[in-house]
């Protein structure tokens, strides 16, 4: 597909991606089950068409990222919904932690950041390199410069210092808050009518660094249109101290789950958690 994208352009490649998505929608029973589970919770209904739209949206997001890494990020239109002064240059730029989720395409923020002349990095759990990731690096050799890898919770000091350094430079550092890692602190919150584990790490990181926190969702709204939704989530003075750390983290995680639920209901085809998100209680 990446070869085809380079040879024939975006629109023809998108048509082929639609066919690939249909193949997976028909052939992967587990994917259909997990997507349908989410739709029942978010919308109160499910169908094959809804499932296909979600799978196609995810496949399309990979195509979009590849197109952006080819240096064509300006081909997409971006509508920004952000607090005044945050990205319009009217206030001094300062570093922020940016809470996101596997809802929409947070990685596309890097392409738009280049257009907006801001610096955006992602704090990500380091995983074995995939063929897709290798291809993306071939498209954009600078890809890894915008990734801060975390190998394990026991080896978090290096990434913590890297995040602090980037924040001090006035950069934005993104971290997803919807998937709990195999190890690490968790908090259990209601989400779409069921209790679910969320990672506590993002809030502990913000408290340790005393960094302002934003909530961000980058949602695709048209063939070449994206909407960037940014909300102020917490200022340094709002972050929990050591004395009330547990209660403060619990409150922040609850608020995050509530905001994620609202956006998930508004943009259900942009939900990209294709696994048993709720565990055995999800059925």
264 has pLDDT over 70: yes
pLDDT digits (tens, 9 = 90+) for 214-256: 999 999 999 999 999 999 999 999 898 888 889 999 999 999 9
149 burial type by CB count under 10 A (0-12 exposed, 13-18 middle, 19+ buried): middle
157 has pLDDT over 50: yes
Phi-psi category of residue 88: left, alpha or beta, with phi > 0 → left and psi -120 to 50 → alpha: alpha
281 has pLDDT over 60: no
What stretches of the chain show up as alpha helix (H) in DSSP? 2-8, 10-27, 29-43, 48-67, 109-116, 131-139, 157-168, 201-209, 245-266
| pLDDT attached to residue 249 | 93
pLDDT digits (tens, 9 = 90+) for 175-195: 999 988 777 789 999 999 999
State the pLDDT confidence band at 270, using cuts at 50, 70 and 90: very high
Question: In 104-248, where do the E strands start and end?
Answer: 120-125, 147-150, 172-176, 186-191, 194-199, 213-222, 225-234
Burial profile 120-148: b = 16 or more Cβ within 10 angstroms, e = fewer: bbbbebeeeeeeeeeebeebbeebeebeb
> What does the pLDDT average to over 88-96?
74
- Please state, for a pLDDT cut of 90, what percent of the chain lies above it: 55
State the pLDDT confidence band at 88, using cuts at 50, 70 and 90: low
Which segment of 1-5, 52-56, 155-159 scores lowest on mean pLDDT?
155-159
197 has pLDDT over 50: yes
| pLDDT attached to residue 99 | 95
- Collapsing DSSP states into helix, strand and coil, what is residue 111? helix
> What does the pLDDT average to over 65-87?
84
State the pLDDT confidence band at 283, using cuts at 50, 70 and 90: very low
- Please state, for a pLDDT cut of 70, what percent of the chain lies above it: 90
Which segment of 11-25, 147-161, 215-229 scores lowest on mean pLDDT?
147-161
Q: 181 phi and psi, to 5 degrees?
A: -75, 170
The average confidence (pLDDT) of the chain is: 87
pLDDT digits (tens, 9 = 90+) for 95-148: 899 999 999 988 787 767 655 667 888 888 765 566 777 777 787 777 778 888
| pLDDT attached to residue 165 | 92
């Amino acid at each position: 597909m990446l070869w085809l994208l380079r040879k024939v352009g975006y629109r023809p490649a998108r048509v082929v991606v639609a066919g690939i998505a249909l193949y997976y929608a028909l052939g992967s029973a587990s994917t259909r089950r997990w997507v349908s589970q989410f739709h029942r919770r978010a919308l109160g209904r499910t169908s094959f068409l809804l499932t296909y739209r979600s799978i196609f949206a995810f496949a399309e997001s990979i195509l979009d990222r590849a197109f952006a890494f080819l240096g064509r990020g300006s081909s997409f239109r971006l509508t920004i919904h952000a607090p005044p002064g945050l990205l319009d240059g009217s206030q001094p730029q300062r570093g922020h932690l940016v809470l996101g989720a596997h809802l929409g395409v947070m990685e596309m923020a890097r392409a738009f950041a280049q257009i907006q002349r801001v610096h955006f990095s992602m704090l990500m759990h380091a995983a074995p390199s995939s063929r897709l990731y290798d291809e993306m690096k071939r498209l954009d050799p600078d890809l890894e410069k915008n990734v801060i890898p975390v190998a394990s919770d026991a080896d978090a000091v290096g990434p913590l210092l890297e995040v602090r350094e980037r924040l001090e430079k006035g950069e934005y550092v993104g971290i997803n808050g919807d998937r709990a890692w195999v190890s690490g602190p968790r908090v259990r919150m209601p989400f779409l009518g069921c209790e679910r584990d969320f990672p506590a790490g993002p809030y502990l990181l913000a408290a340790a660094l005393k960094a302002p926190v934003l909530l961000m969702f980058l949602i695709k709204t048209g063939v070449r249109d994206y909407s960037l939704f940014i909300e102020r989530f917490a200022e340094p003075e709002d972050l929990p101290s050591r004395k009330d750390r547990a209660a403060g983290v619990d409150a922040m995680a609850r608020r995050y789950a509530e905001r994620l639920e609202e956006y998930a209901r508004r943009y259900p085809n942009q939900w990209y958690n294709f696994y048993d998100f709720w565990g055995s209680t999800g059925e």
